Structure 1
């Protein structure tokens, strides 16, 4: 008989019903809180997440001082995992590696020996090959940890103690930054300059209600370990620091090198923060193959210790600013670094803070550390003074003390009774060495007693005065500022600020497209393609069954195409994005959001500065600047307001000073263009009045040059200004019957 799978005790009695929804909520909340508190968000006081704090503390336990020897990283990781951090060794090693990378961390906390990865994105060597120890920055974070400066808690196995937070004498949160994704929240803090943060903190001590704007007089903005140039304006940075949310646009630093005889090359010396150089080069190479960078000929990596990327322009006439602007648009040579100051306030509450709040909480922590260390020192002084007063009594009565020790059965009790000593003092006297019974020793004890008494008075005065405490905190911060002054190699500002050069967006757009001649072909059913070269004839073009050519015109791949529909909408597409000449192209409706009941009226190459005349079937019209109908989205722009059955019938360039309008009733009216309004959108005004029917055609012309048209046989007919007087009138009149020889279809083009 098989083993029973029933629970012991008869089954149903041991089953507890659980509300699944509530159980899931409780468990997910527990997981979310664990992620927020113990993994993803840094503490505002020391700027560290638990894994980093444990790494630094374990290195201190192992005695890996900045001026000491290195130890294998594997040993450090094992120590962290065994004592403090019950997670995977690779996760701990990855965190340790990042703390050592001078291109990832502005002020490294770990001094690494061996291969710790590089800016190309290569990984560090395995932990058994690398060695590590603390840096001076890490020692500053730990300063005072033995002096009851912070709270401790039991480790996960309850066999040891670990700090809840580090004393944090260095403004680590903002100086080194942090990134992390928790449950329902994230943090992203770029690195800053430590000297600037110290200056801002000292200003905040002097003026606790200082605004973010005042603090930005000291903190100019981020200071990335890889340098680069921030191109945001001060107003947007101020808003980011005030709200705790925003971002910074960082560009690579570049310069031109003269090669003689008018030639030059561009050299990139600093990369944007967290951009992998090797990946960037691959991206640029892909763009070159795809012919998206027509101004660039080649890219070479000549980097050694320093970054040196060489960009070779297509020819010496290429504008370097235009070339770089096109690269900034298409590659990570310009990168956005987000700011989301989401941190654990007081180690407990996740909160998005402003710059002044972050610095205030760090200062409050520094003051608390000062108070705790002072109280710890005060207790130690009091214990020592207690012993010293006992020693002094012993020296003043040395012979009697010796007699009691030699002769009495219980010398400790006799000493306490005879000289009114307490247990600690009597024990200390009994433990005293014979060699201490010199005459000189008494003088030294008196001297130490006086010094400690003086120190005790000073500490008591410090603990009693808030202003003295802040003065001491400011003095400590001032010392840190000296260590990381901008004059030092580690402390100098690496990232600079600049306004992005004002470049013509049109020119940049063209700089990203290879200029080639094409012919735009649009069919009656709205299929579009871009055929290579400028075609001379279109008879050989093939179309789908039932479809035929609507219009074809020459263009270049760098051109923008404007498409106007019968519904009065205008769309803009880039000529470089059109399907090639093989096949029948693609329906326009797939490229733009064109309504099914609308058809293509016309299409043309966008000419900036040109004006167009729009006219509807019933004879309404107005003039619009072509730049006003250019649309940047698939939805296009509604330019002419028409309602079925009325449609947009004509879209023609505005030239000359008069407009000739022909109705389907074969009446011609000519009037000055100045009688037409210029609008960005609307229904328009009446051009010509009809009893029935609508507009057939219109043409703008200069009256002095006369009016011409082409008949169905291709003959050109012209009428001088003097012969047109009977047709000239005012807008909205009916006009007169067209002159002899005018095409029967009522169109100027025959």
Structure 2
């Protein structure tokens, strides 16, 4: 039996390591690198490394707002050659975004050429486009040469780059940021700079201010593309407190009249980061798929400004309903996430609240101010040292000249003779002859005095925290004034509103609103005639049948029917049979019992109240909205048992303070409305007491206006002196005034 040969031995200097440990270690290093150097912005200047390097490289190229433009290829080349060892396209994409006024609220780069558009078209190649810095970028870089921030070696050790920018502009919140790291992400929408300055000033004045107070200054994001935020205050407050949340943003639209009763919707602003071309394409697909039944067509009439035109299917469509359908099905409404996950002090990833972000920015501005002041103090000290040497030279000019002309080592002799420092002696030796005139001495003394005064002020500033915050307050006020809401750039673009509560009933929305006259006969045959008929005497009924109810309404109305069994039924006016013929029995549309008669038929209107009463004299008041029935089985509102039947259903006005009842025994009773309860369902209370018969009719009215009725001839009567019939509920009543109808009905 042959034996297998042993595996070959590898070199002895190979170290065996655990693969799991190696992967964990390397992946952690990659994750940290992504978080720190690529995906998350620094809370202090609101920039990621690529953006910071772009701005710094452009500053070194002297691309300030007052200078000319330079090719973007030159900028990208410098960035990837000196600072950012990544692909040129990635760097150029970052540059392009900083120049797009629809992507960045306060652009940091001013572009010349094709930098893309809101349709989603890409920018031209970097060999064609040019760029320079904006005033906002210059504010972020202001003081970078004054030792205000730390520098580090670049990736190849040949140059130095800033770890963070001085950041004299609240860039993190003003321009926002987004990025996906390893295991974490950030998403910060843009805000209004003037509002951020107000919040920062308040935080300086009241260091313990809460987010609840700061939100009054920063009510919500301010997107470069405008739009309308439809979230409520508590939702946004919670988002700013926790650093996590989302904002609902809707397109801005108006209704435009096109004559002859027609109209169209014009959208002038779309939500942030929505590509217009893709949006229109998506809506067109939904129209083709017949998923937007209220919309007939759309057109893009945009030039520099956005103008998207929506044509409704019919002029009777409700514009609010049409837009609600578009908001629910398209990107005309978008949710913009808030996840304020940023690098605290440039090192620790952390989700911050609005207050934390502003606090760290202010603390950074304080550090910058102190470092800048110390740098300036050092400069002043060096200059004062040199000026002191000049003054000594002017006082001893002849001796200085003699030493320089005669001595082999004049520097050493000068230092010993006049007790000068090396710097002072070198400065004297480097003086030009023209500087020896008297005028220069006066200028040097003046400069010396001015520098000493500035030095005293800076020393006071460095020692006093109150003075530092006062100085920072002045800087922030200047920023607020420069980018205030009255300026074209600083004006707030995004508004706030409440989303209307609309029940999106598409079937109902598709019904054209037209006038109809609903006719119901005594035997329950119903039909809907087109138009509002003034004369219905010519209508034909089945043999032995007569007219009972004639109601004027619209095809979009709900028709309510009250039966003698105490049930309410709701009919759709648009679905009623047409006016040809005698109509159809109402029992085909509602489950009326064979013994039921129709007590009332009317058009439903929200907010009204009804007085219901039964033949036994019981009754109550019910809100009309509570009587709507959702099914053909109806809704039992008044509880009655045979032989008792529902007898009365009348509207009762809110200002009606009395109720009048009349019995079959021809007894009239008037009592206060307050004695009758308001219920949503039940039997009610006894309105009037009878020995024989039951209730004939009931009505609510205002006592001051008197009691009215209509006689058999159609004449109106009104009686104001009613003391004789006023009593309490459940009494028997008295015979009515002369002229009251024999039918015992109020008409």
Conserved? CA contact 2:627–2:637, under 8 Å: no
Secondary structure, aligned partner of 1:32? helix
Unaligned runs of at least 5 residues, structure 2: 1-6, 513-605, 607-625, 646-747
Shift of 1:628: 13
Q: Which residue does 1:287 correspond to in 2? A: 286
Q: Which residue of 2 aligns with 1:134?
A: 133
Kindly indicate whether residue 443 of structure 2 is the aligned counterpart of residue 444 of structure 1. Answer: yes
Q: Which residue of 1 aligns with 2:484?
A: 485
Say if 2:321 and 2:504, in contact at 8 Å, map to a contact too.
Answer: no
Partner of 1:456: 455
Q: Distance in 2 between matches of 1:513 and 1:403?
A: 110
Deviating 4+ runs (over 4 angstroms)? 508-514, 625-630, 651-660, 670-673
Distance in 2, Cα, partners of 1:466 & 1:421:
37
d(CA) in 2 for partners of 1:83 and 1:441?
44
Query: Distance between the aligned counterparts of 1:439 and 1:656, measured in 2?
Result: 110
CA distance in 2, matches of 1:652, 1:310: 44
Matched, 1:335 2:334: yes
Residues 66-77 of structure 1 aligned to structure 2 (within 5 Å): 66-77=65-76
**Other-structure match for 2:394:** 395
Task: Give the CA deviation at 1:290.
Answer: 1.0
- The 5 Å alignment of 1:82-231 reads 82-231=81-230
TM-score, normalising length: structure 1: 0.68
In 2, are the aligned partners of 1:141 and 1:167 still within 8 Å (CA)? yes
**1:426 has 2:417 as partner:** no
CA distance in 1, matches of 2:342, 2:510: 41
1:509 Cα deviation after fit: 8.0
Q: Which residue of 1 aligns with 2:505?
A: 507
Paired with 2:273 and 2:231, the residues of 1 have a C-alpha distance of 18
Q: Give the secondary structure class of the aligned counterpart of 1:120.
A: coil
Q: What residue number does 1:538 align with?
A: none
Secondary structure of the 1:24 match is helix
How far did residue 658 of structure 1 move?
9.5
Distance 2:387 2:343 in 1: 45
Report the secondary structure of 1:145's partner residue: coil
2:12 match: secondary structure: helix
Distance, in Å, in 1 between the alignment partners of 2:209 and 2:270 is: 34
Please state how far the C-alpha of 1:67 moved relative to its aligned partner. 1.1
Q: Secondary structure at the match of 2:292?
A: coil
Whole-Å separation in 2 of the counterparts to 1:329 and 1:303: 23
SS at match of 2:468: helix
Q: Which moved more, 1:281-290 or 1:448-457?
A: 281-290
Question: Does the 8 Å contact 1:192/1:223 carry over to 2?
Answer: yes
Partner Cα separation in structure 1 for residue 509 and residue 380 of structure 2:
74
Residue in 2 that maps onto 1:263? 262
> Is the Cα contact below 8 Å between 2:104 and 2:175 reproduced in 1?
yes
The answer for the alignment partner of 1:35 in structure 2 is 34
Query: 2:318·2:509 contact (CA, 8 Å) conserved in 1?
Result: no
What's the TM-score, normalizing by structure 2?
0.68
Q: 1:463/1:657 Cα in 2 relative to 1: closer, same or farther (>3 Å)?
A: closer
Aligned to 1:350: 349
CA contact (8 A) 2:72 2:129 kept: yes
SS at structure 1 position matched to 2:267 = strand
Contact 2:230–2:497 (CA<8 Å) still a contact in 1?
Answer: yes
1:198-223 deviation line (CA, Å, top 9, x unaligned): 11111111011111111112112100
2:527 corresponds in structure 1 to: none
Range 215-224 or range 87-96, more displaced: 215-224
- Distance verdict in 2 for CA 1:410–1:310, change over 3 Å: same
Q: Distance in 2 between matches of 1:659 and 1:379?
A: 99
Distance 1:509 1:463 in 2: 72
User: What CA distance in whole angstroms lies between the structure 2 residues aligned with 1:368 and 1:345?
Assistant: 15
The residue that corresponds to 1:710 in the other structure is: none
Instruction: Give yes or no for contact 2:317–2:509 (8 Å, CA) kept in 1.
Output: no
Kindly tell me: are residues 506 and 133 of structure 1, through their superposed partners in 2, closer, same or farther at Cα, counting changes over 3 Å? closer
Q: 1:409 to 1:242 in 2, by over 3 A?
A: same
The change in CA–CA distance for 1:654 and 1:266 in structure 2 (over 3 A counts) is: closer
Q: 1:506 offset after TM fit, Å?
A: 4.0
Q: SS at the partner of 1:146? A: coil
Check the 8 A contact 2:115/2:124 in 1, yes or no. Answer: yes
CA shift, 1:657, in A, is: 8.4
Are residues 291 and 14 of structure 1, via their aligned partners in 2, closer, same or farther at CA, if it must alter by over 3 Å? same
Give, in angstroms, the shift of residue 356 of structure 1: 0.5
Change in 2 beyond 3 A, CA 1:477/1:512: farther
The residue aligned with 1:54 is: 53
Shift of 1:511: 5.2
Secondary structure at the aligned position of 2:505 is classed as helix
Contact 2:317 2:510 in 1 (8 A): no
Q: Find the aligned partners of 1:349 and 1:464 in 2 and give their Cα distance.
A: 30
Q: Return 13-22 or 37-46, whichever deviates more.
A: 13-22
Structure 1 portions without partners, runs of 5+: 1-5, 515-608, 610-624, 631-650, 661-669, 674-750
Cα distance 1:398–1:125, how it changes in 2: closer, same or farther (>3 A)? same
User: For the structure 1 residues 297 and 410, does the alpha-carbon distance in structure 2 shift closer, same or farther, using more than 3 Å as the test?
Assistant: same
1:17 matched to 2:16: yes
Offset, 1:13: 1.1
Residue in 2 that maps onto 1:312: 311
Matches for 1:627-642 after TM superposition, within 5 Å:
none
Q: Indicate conservation of the 8 Å contact 2:325/2:504, yes or no.
A: no
Structure-1 separation of matches of 2:78 and 2:20: 40
**Aligned partners of 2:504 and 2:107: how far apart in 1?**
44
Q: Is contact 1:293-1:513 (8 Å) kept?
A: no
Alignment-derived partner of residue 276 in structure 1: 275
CA offset at residue 507 of structure 1?
A: 2.3
Offset, 1:487: 0.5
Preserved contact between residue 628 and residue 635 of structure 2 (Cα < 8 Å): no
Change in Cα spacing, 1:627 to 1:52, as seen in structure 2 (3 Å) is farther
Q: Distance in 2 between matches of 1:192 and 1:151?
A: 28
Between the aligned partners of 1:443 and 1:179, the Cα distance in structure 2 is: 58
- Aligned-residue Cα RMSD (Å) equals 2.7
Distance 1:657 1:316, change over 3 A: closer
- Give, in angstroms, the shift of residue 672 of structure 1: 12
Moved more, 290-299 or 75-84: 290-299
Q: Distance in 2 between matches of 1:672 and 1:347?
A: 83
Aligned partner of 1:712 in structure 2 is none
Structure-2 separation of matches of 1:110 and 1:627: 62
Check conservation: 1:657, 1:672, Cα contact below 8 A: no
Gap change, CA 1:60 and 1:656, over 3 Å in 2: closer
